[in-house]
Structure 1
């Protein structure tokens, strides 16, 4: 019993180490150690014990990672979401336990981790990929791999490193000849990412107007939020006129910078138009627009030309469940009336962004940056620059905004494009194609970032391959599970039990939190 409790504690610590590798901390190297702990715990366990250890490990990771979800609504959102993510991790570790004694076990286990992340990216309710391991690696050895195989390849490399460390610990006599592996790992720092401006450059301004107050009711003062962004843009225009700031070619406002529909409110339209004319550049305005066809809201970015007014729009495609939408509203209302705060937003379908000045800008609004396919589709529409308008005011001073900025950095490397993050309350940032942040704002302070950025049309291998690396890795992991199950059935039919290390994963029959054999 004491040994089981120790393993449970160790599982929680392992997951906690992975959490500590995520921003705003820069301890990216803790993630492989967390996976090494998981590898030690899963080796030779039954599948049900593998599930139990995975859930505990997942809770150690997800509970602190997702604390921001409960900042203003309490435990009702935070802990159930963390538990759901942990259970889905447990499904993956259950299969990892099955292959943990096969030859090449670290490889198969890492492939299954990719499959687990793939599953969490699509279910339930459209998926929740927030805890992808790649999003904790915006710097360090593994980041350049994003340009080759996207976020899945980064997650695979981190998991493979950790599981290999666990294998070396069990096979220490082989550790010396394999000591050259860290040198091979260092080769990951080779700059795979191109940064040359093959389509010229553009001067971009990201406006952070700030909000009157943090919290769920920040938009109760919608006009104040709009005025803040107008005022900050006018201040920038004055700085340009005074010669203390460069004239921007394009301007990016955040998501929800105008929660007053400018197509229905002439005064809001006049304010935006005033700002565009003064700054003498097109503005991408994050607005809530009510569609006349169904009278339902859309989370929209409106392209506002200084001469022509609104000329184009992009509607957010990947909506946030339990925020912008509310699945199974009547059911979840049984547990909390807070669900009625969730919106009735309708998703868009067109991934194409805007032609703004010399740039073709991909627009990926807030939550969308977490989804591989959503960002990739917007880039494939011909973009040479990525803009992430976002609103993090509903999450206060939590780590959410830093986690989201890390995603933007990974996307920059993945697609070889500069990224402009414009947030209502911070953190706004300028990200180079190699993932480096060259300018950023503080939180809950008005500011404006102006930078000249490269325009890059060249597609990375990750952009060209699309989802294929993830699918192939997932399929290989599942094939390994099928092989392991086949071996187990064969042994059972023969009525014998394999010796330790024979490849069935049954060396130990208990010791897991899911119960004894």
Structure 2
């Protein structure tokens, strides 16, 4: 058992190294294989331990950036995420007794991955296998099978590697055949990449205004942040007028480019209107506004400002961050809202529900705000409803000195592949960029710098198979987990009944 636990601990660290900032994606299969081998041969009562140890080292390493919020937040959140590896260990133990166990163990991985990406509250999707596939052959599967399907292919590669290591001595030909078949399945999307039909184009500007001072605390310098974006947009207008930049059709500002309600703060409102009038095109402003139905709550929105008209369409963030943007069970004794940095969340942020794309300069735009990009429902849902382009507005300034920025930007790249759309990322102080539908970064602004990106990007209404199937791969993975668990429990109960001693007297009709 000690060697199994050591293998699991190392395997978790190896898997974390597949993600940014190291980004060695090829480490994912051996890491998954290490987990499977550490559990193989153990019953459910013991299999949970190496699986939990794997989860602990993986989650604490891959999301070490959470320490920027606080060490207590990092310990608590990653502890919850690691707990999901306990049922994973049970599922692996059950699956390893079946034929074709590489398939069933891979399904258990993506099923648990899907579960932890949505529960509790809105879950934590960072660390999904698909999010480390940028620049690999696996990524070419994204437009066909989406994030869940691509994660399954990666997991299957790892579980098959474990099977090969177990069987290669006794069945070398079978091992070679299985590896060859898996290689074909993995490389097939790369040999036949999904083609997106471009239908027109638009010229977009993404503004990164930066955060003065340490760059970590937007609220304390929010007026300077807004002023930076106003000034850069005015500079863009002057550059266009001088012929130094091509005319743009609309501008994207990041999340928290105004950290106060732009409709109730006259100074902020005037600055936004002045910038929009100067550039004479719409601006998608990232702003926090008061909920019109309840002034004790706020909305995190992408707001379209039209020159000469004011605000137009809005997108509301679908996945506010628990304990960062709202406090679950506020007022209860579970975690007091006055504890530590929770005092910085005086009002709860309300979850958005609409999947209707924004209308900006004649273009239908799928918007996402910060962590929204890590969830499968928002962007794909808007693209399915006619969005021709994707924008990501983000303010992860608190993490600007960590790998969180790199991990999130990689997800934005992968969303371009998944949806077949150009993706325009506007970050408050990094990383902003413009990504083509094949995942290539055509322009970017590094962290902690000011910059304006101007690019002509393609528009499309082509729906990838991944967008068409939507959330069903994840749902089916969860159904598999439930059905397999029920089957195992029922089989266990039947065995227990079969093991009970028979009362001979009752079988003979009692005593005389």
Confirm or deny a common fold (TM above 0.5): yes
| Rounded Cα–Cα distance in structure 2 between residues aligned with 1:28 and 1:463 | 24
Match of 2:462 among 458, 462, 466: 458
What does residue 378 of structure 2 align with?
374
- How far residue 477 of structure 1 moved from its aligned partner, in angstroms, is 4.7
What does residue 217 of structure 1 align with?
217
Contact 1:385–1:455 (CA<8 Å) still a contact in 2? yes
| Rounded Cα–Cα distance in structure 2 between residues aligned with 1:238 and 1:428 | 22
- How far residue 16 of structure 1 moved from its aligned partner, in angstroms, is 1.2
What does residue 239 of structure 2 align with?
239
| Rounded Cα–Cα distance in structure 1 between residues aligned with 2:151 and 2:160 | 14
What does residue 52 of structure 1 align with?
49
Q: Does 1:339 align with 2:342?
A: yes
What does residue 5 of structure 1 align with?
2
- How far residue 160 of structure 1 moved from its aligned partner, in angstroms, is 0.7
Q: After superposition, where does 1:38-117 map in structure 2 within 5 Å? A: 38-71=35-68, 73-117=69-113
Contact 2:388–2:459 (CA<8 Å) still a contact in 1? yes
- How far residue 182 of structure 1 moved from its aligned partner, in angstroms, is 5.6
What does residue 275 of structure 2 align with?
275
SS at match of 1:94: helix
SS at match of 2:83: helix
1:42-72: CA deviations, max 9, x gaps?
212111322211111111111011111121x
TM-score for both structures, normalised by structure 1: 0.90
Q: After superposition, where does 1:415-494 map in structure 2 within 5 Å? A: 415-484=419-488
| Rounded Cα–Cα distance in structure 1 between residues aligned with 2:201 and 2:487 | 52
Return closer, same or farther for 1:344/1:94 CA change in 2, 3 Å cut-off. same
SS at match of 1:154: helix
1:198-243: CA deviations, max 9, x gaps?
x211111110000113466321111100001111111222222222
Gaps of 5+ in 2: 501-512
1:112-149: CA deviations, max 9, x gaps?
11211221122111222222111111220111222122
4+ residue segments displaced more than 3 Å: 176-179, 213-217, 476-496
Q: Which moved more, 1:481-490 or 1:170-179?
A: 481-490
- How far residue 441 of structure 1 moved from its aligned partner, in angstroms, is 1.1
| Rounded Cα–Cα distance in structure 1 between residues aligned with 2:312 and 2:177 | 64
Contact 2:400–2:430 (CA<8 Å) still a contact in 1? no
Gaps of 5+ in 1: 497-517
Q: After superposition, where does 1:373-392 map in structure 2 within 5 Å? A: 373-392=377-396
Contact 1:196–1:454 (CA<8 Å) still a contact in 2? no
Return closer, same or farther for 1:386/1:217 CA change in 2, 3 Å cut-off. same
SS at match of 1:319: coil
Residues matched between the structures, number: 491
What does residue 308 of structure 2 align with?
307
Return closer, same or farther for 1:372/1:214 CA change in 2, 3 Å cut-off. farther
Return closer, same or farther for 1:293/1:473 CA change in 2, 3 Å cut-off. closer
- Larger radius of gyration, structure 1 or 2? 2
What does residue 175 of structure 2 align with?
175
Q: After superposition, where does 1:358-373 map in structure 2 within 5 Å? A: 358-373=362-377
- How far residue 334 of structure 1 moved from its aligned partner, in angstroms, is 8.8
Return closer, same or farther for 1:192/1:312 CA change in 2, 3 Å cut-off. same
Q: Does 1:141 align with 2:137?
A: yes
| Rounded Cα–Cα distance in structure 1 between residues aligned with 2:239 and 2:10 | 51
Return closer, same or farther for 1:177/1:146 CA change in 2, 3 Å cut-off. closer
What does residue 32 of structure 1 align with?
29
SS at match of 1:176: helix
Match of 1:354 among 350, 354, 358: 358
| Rounded Cα–Cα distance in structure 1 between residues aligned with 2:478 and 2:119 | 16
| Rounded Cα–Cα distance in structure 1 between residues aligned with 2:447 and 2:265 | 29
| Rounded Cα–Cα distance in structure 1 between residues aligned with 2:179 and 2:325 | 50
What does residue 510 of structure 1 align with?
none
Contact 1:286–1:300 (CA<8 Å) still a contact in 2? yes
TM-score for both structures, normalised by structure 2: 0.91
What does residue 512 of structure 1 align with?
none
Return closer, same or farther for 1:348/1:179 CA change in 2, 3 Å cut-off. closer
Return closer, same or farther for 1:446/1:334 CA change in 2, 3 Å cut-off. closer
What does residue 505 of structure 1 align with?
none
- How far residue 93 of structure 1 moved from its aligned partner, in angstroms, is 2.3
| Rounded Cα–Cα distance in structure 2 between residues aligned with 1:168 and 1:48 | 26
